[in-house]
Copies of this chain bind each other. A is one copy, B any other.
Amino acid sequence: MKKQVKTSRHPEETRKKIIESAIALILQQGFSATGVEQICQAAGVTKGAFFHHFASKEEAGQAALAAWAAHGSALYAAAKNEPARHPLDHLHRLFDIMIDIVPHPAAPLTCVVGIVSQETAVSHPGLREACSTYLTNWTEFARQLLAEAKAALPPRIDFDPAEVAWFLNSLWQGSMLVAKTTQHPDHVVRNLERARAYVDSLFGEPLAP
């Protein structure tokens, strides 16, 4: 009598598809403009599945942020894969990694963290806090590289690694924001190259592109 419906029964995969769809949609429309139903549709699942895996939309947002951050961390961590032959090697590799992201065809050229934190600062404090943490993590990573470089190579002029790291992170986030707004990804590349030259100038000769 009742028709038997097929259930996929691959919980991990379902979760993953939901998170990926959520990320893709948030990158385009932001968090609040993205509906649960829409995410489900993109992921090819029903709301039943969604709310089985996530207690609320916010929780899915948290998962999306975490996945995004994890992916980013893995990407950036590659900067330390090989030992540094020159004190600035790791920093340079980090810039290279970031620059290499831009021309990639499927690159979103926006950051989930940046978007979500802006719209949820008041309404969903938990999300904003998570964003803050992820931003801090990135900064901490850059700070370490800067500190290590500073330890290995006395800078021409002294600087606070944490401060410079926030400077670079702000520029990174701002570049993606500008790129999405103006739809000119090139800005990101140029900004990053200029930032690299700036970092170099803290150590070596007084700035020469």
Contact = CB atoms under 8 A, between A and B. Distances in A.
A170 B167 contact: no
Interface residues of A, number: 53
Interface of A: 28-30, 32-33, 110, 113-115, 117-123, 128, 131-132, 135-136, 156-157, 159, 163-164, 166-167, 169-175, 177-178, 180-183, 187, 190-191, 194-195, 198, 201-202, 206-209
A198 B164 CA distance: 12
30 contacts: A28-B121, A29-B32, A29-B119, A30-B119, A32-B33, A32-B119, A33-B119, A33-B123, A110-B118, A114-B177, A115-B119, A118-B118, A118-B181, A128-B181, A132-B183, A156-B207, A157-B207, A157-B208, A157-B209, A163-B194, A166-B187, A166-B190, A167-B171, A167-B190, A167-B194, A170-B174, A170-B187, A170-B191, A202-B207, A206-B207
Contacts of A119: 29-30, 32-33, 115, 118-119
The secondary-structure label for the interface of chain A is helix
A155 to B, nearest CB: 10
Contacts of A135: 178, 181-182
Given A166-B190, A206-B201, A207-B201, A181 B123 contact: no
A178 B170 contact: yes
A64 B159 CA distance: 40
Interface centre among A30, A170, A175 (most CB of B within 10 A): A170
Contacts of A33: 32, 119, 123
A181 B122 contact: no
A191 B206 contact: no
A35 to B, nearest CB: 11
Nearest to A130: B181
B181 A177 contact: no
Contacts of A201: 201, 206-207
A32 B34 CA distance: 10
A156 B123 CA distance: 48
